[in-house]
Amino acid sequence: MTDPFQTLLQAGNLPINNFPVTSRYYRAGTSTITADDGTVTIYLKRRIIPAGESLNLIVEHQVKEGDRLDNVSAAYLGDPEQFWQIADANNAMKPEELTADHGRWLRIAQPQGITG
């Protein structure tokens, strides 16, 4: 199925984003670099991680024994692959550490620009 928005971008000769809207890289964008021999390499721009406190808090979750971040994400966000949103909300560079300490409170938040 063709995404109508991406079709519109292509018609306007704008770069196409191949990441789904649920991807942490959706807004990152791409750029190119041309080597001396003319070879063009497309690369993903750096993703700027927002401060967790700036995100729209939905709820807090207290970590229990056996919790895994994908399961917590599925329970609160409806998608286990959205664990990165919880990592962002808690300023975590290593998401696996978020469920290591039982009793810890995790912020469950929405990305910037989305309100509930």
Number of domains in the chain: 2
Tell me the whole-structure pTM to 2 decimals: 0.67
Q: What six digits make up the tokens of 107?
A: 């912020």
Alpha carbon distance 29, 45 (integer Å): 6
Asked if residue 116 is part of any domain, the answer here is: no
CATH number for the domain harbouring residue 90: 3.10.350.10
Q: How does pLDDT run across 31-68, given as a tens digit for each residue?
A: 889 999 999 998 888 877 777 888 888 899 999 999 99
90 vs 24, residue with greater confidence: 90
Question: Where in 2-100 does DSSP place strands (E)?
Answer: 30-34, 40-44, 56-62
Asked if residue 101 is part of any domain, the answer here is: yes
Give me the domain span that covers residue 64.
52-110
